[in-house]
Structure 1
Amino acid sequence: MLNTLLEITALNSDLLIFLAVDLTIAIALLSAMRFVSGVSANVNTTDELAKQDNFAFGISVAGSIAALGIVLTGAITGEAAESLTMEIIGMSAYGILGLLLIKVGRMVHDKFALNKLDKTEHIKAGNITIGIVDAAGAIATAIVIKAVLVWVYGVDVNTLIAIISGFIVSQAMLIIATRIKERQYAGNNQGDSLQEAFEKGQVALAIRYAGQVISTALAVTAASYFFSYSPETLVISLLGWLIFGVLMTLLVAMLTFIAKKLILWGINLVEEVDQQHNIGVASIEMAISIAIAMILTGLMA
C-alpha cells in the first residue's frame, strides 16, 4: 500500500504543486478580505474586532470571507491549467475579480436593495441585524458568481464579460427578492417598513431575510445546468439565465411556502417572527428556505 501511495504521489507531483499554489493564493486572498473590509468601512479591523468587540462588524467580515471562499471554489473547480504560470494567473485573476465583485455587490445592495439605510454606519455602530443582512447579501452574490465561474472556461475577454454579466443578473434578482419581501412585510404589518425594522435591530427578521436571499441565489444558479457556455451565444444564454432565474425563484418561493406551512404547522409566523422577534422560528424558516432551494437545484443538476 505504501509503494502504491508513493507511486501515485510521484505521478501526481505536478498536481500537488498546483494544489499548493492554489491554496497559497486562496489563503492570501482570504487574509486580504479582512483588511479590504476595514478599508471600505474606514476602520481599524483589529480595534473593531478585539477592542471594540463589534459583533456586527465581525459578522459582516465573516460573511465577506465566506463569500470569497465560495467564489474561490469556483475558480479551483475543474482541470488544472496548462502550466503553473497560467494556473497562478487564472487563480489570482478569478480571486481578485471575485473580491472586487463582492465589494461592488455590497455597494449595489446598499444603493438599490436596502436604499433606505446606511449599512456601513449601522455596522460600525454595532447593529447585529444589519451585520447579518450584509453577510447574507455577500454570500448570495458569491453563490451566483461561483456558478458562473464553473459555467465558463478559459481566461479571456468573453469569460470576463460572462462573469460580470452573471454578477449583474445576481444583483437584479437580489433586488427583486428584497422588494417582494418588503411588500410582504408591509402587507403583514400594517404598512411597516422592513428596512426600518432592520434598522431597529430585529434579528429574527434578518435571519429570515438571509434564508430568502441565499435561497434566491441558489435558485438562480440552477440555470447553469440548462444553458451551455458559448461566446457566440453569450447574450442569449445570459438572458436565459435571467428568465430561468425568475421562474426558479418563484418555484422555490412557492415550495418554501408549502414546506413552512407543513413543518411549522400551528405556528403563526407573522406573529412569532415579525412581532415577537422569535429567533428560533426565524432560524427554522431560514433553514427551510435554503434546504428547498438546495434540493430543487440538486434535482435540476
Structure 2
Amino acid sequence: MAKTERGSLYGEVTARIIAELEEGRLPWVQPWDASRCPCTMPHNAVSERNYSGINVLILWAAGVAQGYGSQRWLTYRQAEKAGGHVRRGERGSVICYADRFTPRAKAEKAGNEDREARTVAFLKRFTVFNVDQCEGLPDALTGPVNPIDPVLAIAEADAIIQGCGADFRIGGGEAYYAPGQDFVAVPHQIAFHAGIDWYRTALHELSHWTGHASRLNRDQTGAFRSAAYAREELVAEMASAFTCASLGIQPTVRHADYIGAWLAVLRADEKAIFRAASAASKAADYLLRHGEGEA
C-alpha cells in the first residue's frame, strides 16, 4: 500500500475519533440501544472471530450510526459464498489489518551479513458489510442473537478477578492501580450507584495491571496529566470497554475525565488511537484468558 494511502487511513480514522471526543462522546463506550442490538463485540458472521483493535471502534460506530440489529459483519465475497448477496446501493465499512513483513531482498541481505532483517509495516484496507445490509443469507447468520445472561456475565467477571492472579484489594474511597507495589484497589460495591459499574471500574484498573513489566510491559512511567499518562488511561478505558462487551456487561458510567488529554494525544499523533486500540485488545484478551482458567 502506498505511503499516502496509509496516511490517509490513519488520518481519516483519527479525525473521526477526535470529532466524537469533541462532542463529548466516548467511542469505546457502548452507546447502542440494547433492545435492538445486544451488547457484544463486533465479529465476523462466518468465522465468528471477534474484530480487534481500531476495528472495534470503527464497527461499533458504524453499527450505531446505521441502527443495525447486530454486530455481525462479513465481506462481499463471504456473503456470496454463503448463498446471499449485499443489497444494491449499500455502502460497506472500511476496516484495516496492520502487520509487519520482511521483504525477501532485505532478508537475504541480512542473512548474508549475519544480522536480523528489519521489518516493514503495512496497513491493508478491507470493506465489510453488516448482515442487515444483505439478502438471502442463511438463518444461521441472520437469526436473533441470544443475549448474554447478565448473571453469568457478572460471574465471568468474578472469574477474571479471582483467576488473573492480581493483588486485588477491596475497600477505601478510591479506585486505582499502584504500579510500584503492583496491586489494584477498588472501593466496596456498595459505594457505587449501580453495582454493575463496580465491575467496569474493576476491569479498568485490572487493565492497568496487565501493563506491568512482567505482563504486557506497557509504559506506565508517565506523571499525572502527562501525554504518557493519558495514553495509558486511553488503553485502560478501551480495554475495560472491550472486556465488558465480551462479557455482556453494560455499565452506566462513562469516564470522561481525560477527554482533553486524549484529544491532545490524538491531535499530536494520528497513529496514537491505532496503537492504543491494539494495546487495549491485548489487555482485554489477557484478562479474558484468565477468566477462562488459562494461565
**Range class of TM-score, shorter chain:** under 0.3
Q: Which has the higher contact order (CA 8 A, sep 6+)?
A: 2
Q: Normalized against structure 2, the TM-score is what?
A: 0.27
Q: Normalized against structure 1, the TM-score is what?
A: 0.27
Greater helix content:
1
Greater strand content:
2
